[in-house]
Structure 1
Amino acid sequence: MGELGTFLTNNLADFWSYTGFANATPGELIMLLVGMFFIYLAVKKDFEPMLLIPIGFGILIGNILPFRIDEAGFYEEGSVLNILYQGVQSGWYLPLMLLGIGAITDFSALISNPKLMLVGAAAQFGIFGAYILAIVLGLDPNHAAGIGTIGSASGPIAIFLATKLSPELIGIIAISVYSYIALIPVIQPPIMRLLTNDSDRTIKMKPARQVSHTEKVMFPIIGLLLTCLLVPSALPLLGMLFFGNLLKESGVTRRLAETASGALLDIVTILLGLTVGITLTASNFFTADTVYTIILGFLAIVIATASGILFIKLFNLFLKNGNKINPLIGNAGISAPVSARISEEVALEYDSTNYLSVHAMGPCVAGIIGSAIAAGILLGFLM
């Protein structure tokens, strides 16, 4: 009986030594709390639930020892998780997401007022401004580029560039960009009020003209040729974005557009969020790069917002009365759809009849194109 007791005790001790309870570090326990916090924000506060729930659950998986990835951020080769991670590592989840985004995006506001493309382009100073600041602070150029794209406020574009240039930062970049998207209603209004005056805020823009079906069909084709001939490295992003939009606007591929924007987009979102979350381990999170990413990512959003607003104020100096643009839509150049709603909410505070959301969607969709071009430029320089 004594030998049996010793045998059972030794086996139980061996079993315990392999459990996550016995081997978890304080950092991993903290990360488990972080994962649960993100799930709480998604469920209770409705903060980007489509991604924060998969990312939060992925953090839980990634910080449980038996399933933990190694220090380089990859799974054990040949495992199920490793196979799923190839979509992030190889960068094919993100173009598929942009295919779905293109299939639900309406470029009419931009087509009806093409000069709004310049506003979306101006907002990309957020990406390049944060990139320059990161270089000045001594960060690796590849890390600086990945951090800078947080200023796009576009998760797929920021994560895509991170997979190519700074894979060890994928998790924190993803968390930062989606967190700041959720915080846009807090971040942007003070900047918008600070940089505009009453006369700016009450500018009324002409109603957007009706866009023909032919224009909608031709836009993704012309857009693809103009942008990707200029910046070929942006083709994986813009090619899929414009392809998805063509499926939507052609009128003859409705089933394909619905699949791209529905089931396919949902599947890729689940896999992307889960695998990105798993990369966010304690060893990857508790670093100086995390601090730089959070701070510089915030500054990128601030610079992008300010750049769009200030560009419109400058541009208005060359426009006649009646054709001027309300600077409050400049914030929408960062490409997050919620920013267009913020444009209108702030405008209505000063004029209850000044509805700007339709106009703000122009810089918003232009920002998607502009940030993909900016990412392509950085990718071309650094790859």
Structure 2
Amino acid sequence: MDQILVFLQALLDQTGAVHFSFGNLVMVIIGCTMIYLAITKHYEPLLLIGIGFSCIVANVPGPPDDVPGGQAISALLYVVKEGGLFHYAYQGVALLIIPPLIFLGVGAMTDFGPMIANPKLVILGAGAHLGIFVALILAKLLGFSLAEAGAIGIIGGADGPMAIFVTVKLAPHLLGPVSVAAYSYMALMPMIQPPVMRLLTTQAERQISMEQSRKVSKLEKIAFPIVIAIIVNLFFPPVAPLITMLMLGNLFKETGVVDRLAKTAAGGLMNVIIMILTVAIGSTMAAEKFLTLQTLEIVGLGLIAFLFGTGSGVVTAKIMNLFMKTKINPLIGSAGIASVPIAARVSHIVAYQENPKNLLIYHAMGPNLAGVFGTAISGGIMLALIGVG
């Protein structure tokens, strides 16, 4: 009997089961929760299913020979094991290959007409970025360096690719927790934003209907990406790679003569990039890396940034109404953060719940798109002031 027990123990020692920790269990539960929210609540399933599943797998210990201490999955997949699948997925993020390609696809899917038709709503794209600087200041007070604080603060822009881009430039060692926080909160915005929006508005304000915007000409839509690309490359070169690709994708869409390229960028290419991105992000969520005080501080600061960004956007809209004859629905102010089109969709849903005849989605897209440029400008300023090109 003793020999059988010894044999079984030796066999068990060759597996990762003996190294499965409480931290691993916590992260597996977090991953399962993400998948649950994606399936049952439809909270951005394109992001949460891939991130959640990769988080689960990243916390299944491998045999001792694969990784010292057995604290990760097998060498075939582990993110830091050169030659592994997750490793190369992560390199696409770390080497800033994935973020510009995401912007290319987003540009090919985006109609900038709402922003062009109502340019005053661009103000909301600036007003909703208070969270970036609140998080930056708090991070500095918690002992992070200025560069690290800048990387943490950009989470508040709710722009995943921009958060990755700025973090790689300022504090690449924080890329894992920053990207996890940015994309997780983006996906969970239908949970995070509505309570803040309702707290800061009255029922009457939430029921405000907005007039239909003017029709934007084809010439305006074609000229827009060209002009913006020139301006960004001239005045904000640190973030030019992302905005340039965003504008190229949009030009593919608006010219109407390269439908194959536009459909590929917005469809097949974008789908592949999302799969690679979510695997890369989820694979960084191993318990020994994620369940640390520093990571939890970053995640907490990211949440604060989102809350302040949402609130400042709504308040900015309320202030604008003090000076406007035709009032705007302050709910669209929350769409001023850059998560396109998630934030605009949340604004529309909250307004629709108050008044089913109130369709805000088109109006909310204006500040939502402006938020992309607001985050880019904030990121560019950070990179310029901190001295990273």
For the aligned pair, the TM-score class normalised by the smaller chain equals 0.7 to 0.9
Cα 1:281–1:202 shift into 2, 3 Å: closer
CA drift at 1:242: 0.9
The counterpart of 2:368, out of the listed 354, 364, 367, is 364
Residue 328 of structure 2 is matched in structure 1 by 325
Q: Does residue 245 in structure 1 map to residue 250 in structure 2?
A: yes
Percent identity, aligned pairs only?
Answer: 43
Which structure 2 residues correspond to residues 1-383 of structure 1 after superposition, within 5 A?
A: 16-66=12-62, 75-197=80-202, 200-319=205-324, 321-322=325-326, 324-336=327-339, 337-348=341-352, 353-382=357-386, 383=388
DSSP 3-state at the match of 1:77: coil
Report Cα offsets for 1:208-260 as digits up to 9, x if no partner. 10011110011111111223322110112111111111111111111001101
Instruction: Kindly indicate whether the alpha-carbon contact (under 8 Å) linking 1:98 and 1:240 is maintained by their aligned counterparts in 2.
Output: yes
CA drift at 1:331: 0.8
Q: Which moved more, 1:29-38 or 1:226-235?
A: 29-38
Cα 1:64–1:243 shift into 2, 3 Å: same
Give the residue type in structure 1 aligned to 2:270.
L
Unpaired runs of at least 5, structure 2 = 72-77
TM-score (norm 2): 0.86
How many Å separate the matches in 1 of 2:53 and 2:355? 44
Residue 75 of structure 2 is matched in structure 1 by none
How many Å separate the matches in 2 of 1:224 and 1:120? 18
Residue 74 of structure 2 is matched in structure 1 by none
CA drift at 1:53: 1.9
CA drift at 1:18: 3.6
TM-score (norm 1): 0.87
How many Å separate the matches in 1 of 2:259 and 2:343? 28
Report Cα offsets for 1:272-297 as digits up to 9, x if no partner. 11122111111211111222123211
Give the residue type in structure 2 aligned to 1:41.
L
How many Å separate the matches in 2 of 1:342 and 1:167? 31
Report Cα offsets for 1:327-359 as digits up to 9, x if no partner. 221111013323323333444566564432211
Give the residue type in structure 1 aligned to 2:95.
S
Q: CA RMSD in A?
A: 2.8
How many Å separate the matches in 2 of 1:159 and 1:58? 18
CA drift at 1:15: 5.3
Cα 1:13–1:350 shift into 2, 3 Å: closer
Report Cα offsets for 1:290-330 as digits up to 9, x if no partner. 221232112111211122122223333343x13x4332211
Q: Which moved more, 1:119-128 or 1:97-106?
A: 119-128
Instruction: Kindly indicate whether the alpha-carbon contact (under 8 Å) linking 1:62 and 1:69 is maintained by their aligned counterparts in 2.
Output: no
How many Å separate the matches in 1 of 2:206 and 2:5? 75
Give the residue type in structure 2 aligned to 1:358.
Y
Q: Which moved more, 1:368-377 or 1:338-347?
A: 338-347
How many Å separate the matches in 1 of 2:19 and 2:359? 57
Unpaired runs of at least 5, structure 1 = none
CA drift at 1:186: 3.4
Cα 1:353–1:47 shift into 2, 3 Å: closer
Give the residue type in structure 1 aligned to 2:126.
A
How many Å separate the matches in 1 of 2:52 and 2:354? 39
How many Å separate the matches in 1 of 2:367 and 2:81? 43
Instruction: Kindly indicate whether the alpha-carbon contact (under 8 Å) linking 2:44 and 2:188 is maintained by their aligned counterparts in 1.
Output: no
CA drift at 1:118: 1.6
Instruction: Kindly indicate whether the alpha-carbon contact (under 8 Å) linking 1:162 and 1:170 is maintained by their aligned counterparts in 2.
Output: yes
CA drift at 1:9: 9.2
How many Å separate the matches in 2 of 1:69 and 1:48? 35
Cα 1:175–1:366 shift into 2, 3 Å: same
How many Å separate the matches in 1 of 2:171 and 2:371? 23
